[in-house]
Chain A
Amino acid sequence: MRFYEYESKALFRRHGMPLGEGHVVNSNAEARAAAEAIGGPVVIKSQVLSGGRMKAGAVQFADTPDEAAEKYDFVLPIEVGGEKARSVLIEAKSPVAHEYFVSVTWDGRRKLPVLLFSDMGGIDIEEVAETHPEHLSRTHFSTILPISERIAKEAISSVGVSGGDLNRLVPIVYKLMQVFLQYDLTLAEINPVAKLEDGSFIVLDGHVDLEAEARGEHKKLLVELGIGEDETRLARPPTEFELEGARLNAVDHRGVAGNVVEFDGNLGLIIGAGGGSLTLFDAVRKHGGKPANYCEIGGNPSVGKACNLTKLILGKPGVEKIAVMMNVVSNTRVDIVARGVIKGCLEAGKDPSKVITIFRIPGAWEDEGFKILEKYGVEYCDRSVSMYEAAGRAVAKL
């Protein structure tokens, strides 16, 4: 879940990073008062979660309090990537001499955090990576072993920064690494961190993404930052279909049959097991299939839970058939899921043998499960059929 800029900065401020004076405002009168309090030129920044504010005109500058109020009215209605501003941040305009980029994110391939640093800040880092790769360093570090300022120092110096600038940047970069680890973030970024004309350094813009699963762990922080429990901060608000999926999952503690995401295809998916859901979703698409949904089942959901998920998916407009596929299961029972999906089909008024394209869940209690599937005439397969092949069979039946 993404933090707004002002929330990211509040987090950075707690860790002693250098920040200019700033005020979050919600009216032009507050904007004027904030500019008066700052007492000099200010920046007026729309608070949205989407990128591209500058290009959209949602970042403006003002020299006087009256101009700040005018610019507030100008910035507020601008939609950035279809998103309206939650509020506006008024900050002191800083005399920038040079801009740097620093980010910590997760490298899924290396399964380690990676520190990215560039002496070409203020622009898209993808552009720097493509056109000036020598100006971007990538440094992996451990989530287990202790980290030190040495890692930050090497990352910064490897793009040619030295002397006083290096010494002033190291603590900022090191603190960003610590924040990343401490709060289970998936992204901690400062772009730019600026060297001012007087030689000091300041954080001008920041982005933070918190791992959604870590919300519970960092509840205190979220409360302190004013982030409500109902704020999902997802790319779009959940649909009714998705909300119903979440509700079905929540009412029964047994296993998981949820994380439902809606798509506009015609093949309903009941998928899961150890990353199997992502693999199977991709496999369906690779075979030219159009998923009606993504979901995750696992942890041995009850018959009722699997039944209700099946009914939900079959009830979605446009769904013609469903595919029930998982990786090899151990703690989830094949027979229980088989009972659930067949019961769901019958309660939805559908013939399981016609509406289930394939049932590919090998593993615990599969013999018992296969007996049930045979009884109802459902096509099934064991682990000798790969997930990819099973997905192909499902798509071919549409």
Chain B
Amino acid sequence: MPGLFIDVKVADEVAKNAETAKKLVEVCAVDIFAQNDDGSLRVVEENLDECVLCDLCIDAAPRGSVEVIKLYES
């Protein structure tokens, strides 16, 4: 189920990179990210609304590759 309040978009090339995916899993305190068996990134939709807007994921990935969207502002 997608988030009601928050959405997260990750650039395809970053999502496929196992190393960056691992880093994103590590930094997110509310488990929005997980890794698939092949190491690629998976967004855990049911946890999206738990996002605390800490921006750690934005800082952990290459500039502009992760975007946190506040759906209530749109």
Residues 40-56 of B, flagged 1 when their CB comes within 8 A of A and 0 if not, give 00000000011011000
Residue A9 interfacial (CB < 8 Å): no
Give the residue name and chain of the B residue nearest to A300 (CB).
B52
The interface stretch among A124-132, A159-167, A237-245, A335-343 is A335-343
B4 touches A336 (CB 8 A): no
Residue A14 interfacial (CB < 8 Å): no
B72 touches A303 (CB 8 A): no
How far is the CB of A254 from the nearest CB of chain B, in Å?
Answer: 9
How far is the CB of A300 from the nearest CB of chain B, in Å?
Answer: 9
A333 touches B52 (CB 8 A): yes
Which DSSP category, helix, strand, loop or mixed, fits chain A's interface?
helix
B73 touches A303 (CB 8 A): no
- Report the interface size class on chain B: 10 to 19
A339 touches B4 (CB 8 A): yes
- Residues of chain A in range 331-382 having any CB-CB distance to chain B below 8 Å: 333, 335-336, 339, 342-343, 346, 368, 371-372, 375-376
Complex-state Cα separation, A181 to B28, whole angstroms:
44
Complex-state Cα separation, A343 to B6, whole angstroms:
12
Chain B residues, CB < 8 A from A336? 52
Residue A249 interfacial (CB < 8 Å): no
- Report the interface size class on chain A: 10 to 19
A342 touches B52 (CB 8 A): no
Question: Which one of B50, B53, B70 lies within 8 Å of A303 (CB-CB)?
Answer: B50
- Residues of chain B in range 33-74 having any CB-CB distance to chain A below 8 Å: 49-50, 52-53, 70, 72-73
Give the residue name and chain of the A residue nearest to B46 (CB).
A304
In this complex, which of A302, A303, A371 has the most chain B Cβ atoms within 10 angstroms of its Cβ? Answer: A303
A372 touches B50 (CB 8 A): no
- Residues of chain A in range 75-103 having any CB-CB distance to chain B below 8 Å: none
B49 touches A339 (CB 8 A): yes
Chain A residues, CB < 8 A from B49? 303-304, 339, 343
Give the residue name and chain of the B residue nearest to A343 (CB).
B4
Chain A residues, CB < 8 A from B5? 303, 339, 343, 372
A346 touches B4 (CB 8 A): yes
A371 touches B4 (CB 8 A): no
Question: Apart from A372-B72, A376-B72, what are 18 other A-B pairs with CB-CB below 8 Å?
Answer: A302-B50, A303-B5, A303-B49, A303-B50, A304-B49, A304-B50, A333-B52, A335-B53, A336-B52, A339-B5, A343-B5, A343-B49, A368-B53, A371-B70, A371-B72, A371-B73, A372-B5, A375-B72
